[in-house]
Structure 1
Amino acid sequence: MGKYYPQFQKLSRLFNKNIGSVLKKDIFAYDLKNFTLMVKSTKKKIRMEFEIKASPSMLFNYISSPSGLSQWFCNDVDIYNNFYKFKWDGDENIAELLKKTPLKGVKFRWKDTHPDEFFEFEIQQDELTDDVALVVTDYVEPIDEKNAILLWENQVHELRTLLGG
């Protein structure tokens, strides 16, 4: 959600003290108090496609439900409203569910990440062959790209094993 810079807090105080009292209006100071500076994401978008030998309905259960996700993506998942708490070996991260389309996919954003960043599991089915693919989209630091791809390949391998192929 961007970074808040302390300089703006100082600027807001100065504005209130010197100019705000002259204007007798709080609108400008209020805007400055709530001003945040958005910094462009430095992460790189990666998109990987994996052939999956399963029906879209079976795959959707594994990418969208706590019981499904906890079998291949993490150790455990708790849900509260649209927030998913993913747990791995003593570590946990919270993600907001941005979109859930039955039999098509899910899209999440990690807490405290840039608004443009997300991770997504999308189900695609070829109209002619009925082949099913899982498309994973994620944002990673450029220096970590190779490791992130290897991690996703390992995670999806776990998923394929569960699905029998």
Structure 2
Amino acid sequence: MNKEKFVAEYELKSVSPALLWPYIGTKNGLADWFADDVQSDGKLFTFYWNKSSQQAHQVAMRTGLYIRFHWLDDEEEKSFFELRITTSELTGYTMLMVTDFAYPDEMDDSRDLWDHQIETLRRKLGV
């Protein structure tokens, strides 16, 4: 069974992209909401949750716009997770687009996990 790509869009209202970027594009920012701690050695990031860790390789980044990671223990080469800052053409609000991959039977859990993580980010941003 192959993983399927999904995209979730989160409205962050009037948070400026310049304020949001450090939260998604730096190890310290990611440690504020995504993981308990984040360490990096070049493009190799280690994310810590409780007593476990998981490593990801930063495969792409455009400062102020997006960052993309591939989990090292993920056997599917095409899978990744990406955090991308966009602006809604309709409202002018800052949006965070999350792209990730999950097995079909784990899709709801993956979306729920992202919803929870983004809620933590919103609290940190005061949204």
Q: Could you state the TM-score of these two structures normalised by the residue count of structure 1?
A: 0.72
Partner Cα distance (2:4, 2:99) in 1: 10
In the TM superposition, residue 128 of structure 1 has moved relative to its aligned partner by 6.3
Partner Cα distance (2:78, 2:61) in 1: 17
- What residue number does 2:58 align with? 97
**C-alpha RMSD of matched pairs (Å):** 1.3
- What residue number does 1:60 align with? 21
4+ runs of 1 displaced by more than 4 Å? Answer: none
| Overall identity of the aligned pairs, in % | 33
Deviations 1:63-109 (A, max 9, x none): 11111101110000110111000000011011000111111110000
Query: Number of residue pairs matched?
Result: 125
The structure that has the greater radius of gyration is 1
Whether 1:108 and 2:69 are equivalent positions in the alignment is yes
5+ residue gaps, structure 2, are: none
Instruction: State the structure with bigger RCO (CA 8 A, min sep 6), 1 or 2.
Output: 2
5+ residue gaps, structure 1, are: 1-40
Alignment partner of 1:112: what SS? coil
Q: Could you state the TM-score of these two structures normalised by the residue count of structure 2?
A: 0.93
Partner Cα distance (1:87, 1:64) in 2: 17
Higher normalized helix content (fraction of residues): 1
Q: 1:74 to 1:127 in 2, by over 3 A?
A: same
Whether 1:152 and 2:107 are equivalent positions in the alignment is no
Alignment partner of 2:35: what SS? coil
